[in-house]
A = this chain, B = another copy of it.
Amino acid sequence: MSETRNRTRIINWEEPRSPAELGKDLSGLEFLQKMMAGEVPRPPISLLMNFALTELSEGSAVFTCEPDEYHYNPLGTIHGGLAATVLDSAMACAVHSTLPAGVAYTTLEIKINYVRPMTVRTGVVRGEARVIHTGGRVATAEGKVVDANGKLYAHGTTTCMIFRA
């Protein structure tokens, strides 16, 4: 049996600094809602890695992703960088969604646990995140990667610093 899988991808993206500038005048929730609605361009990394913000509320965010062959590591499974990137995005957006306009944040650290490998047969996974704590200067969040049956693949936490005016 021969496999005739297409092993080429063409990726196009838009200049990413202008949307980021736009974000500075919006609350986190507004900015992310516009992104989810396609009113601001998707960030290049989400086009490159092929994941997208699909659910959002204040303090939580879900990204959806279909692990594919172009995410593979040298061991014959999906590279851990995919779960790390999706969870970093989801946890950071969960934090961002709690911030008013004019308040910036940055990710200080992420911690990711891998509980089972993903492959091309895993199907669509969800990176679900929610804020654990938001303080004046620091926020923490947690997230997990699960498949359509709720099976767990990875989970993590993050610490973000918040810059209030």
A interface residues with partner B (beta carbon < 8 Å): 3, 5, 7-17, 19-21, 23, 31, 35, 40, 43-45, 47-49, 69-76, 79-82, 84-86, 88-89, 92, 104, 106-117, 132-133, 135, 137-138, 140, 142, 152, 155, 157, 159, 161
Contact = CB atoms under 8 A, between A and B. Distances in A.
Contacts of A7: 12-15
B117 A108 contact: no
Given A44-B70, A80-B107, A8 B8 contact: no
A40 B76 CA distance: 13
A117 B138 CA distance: 13
A63 to B, nearest CB: 11
Contact of A81 (B45, B104, B137): B45
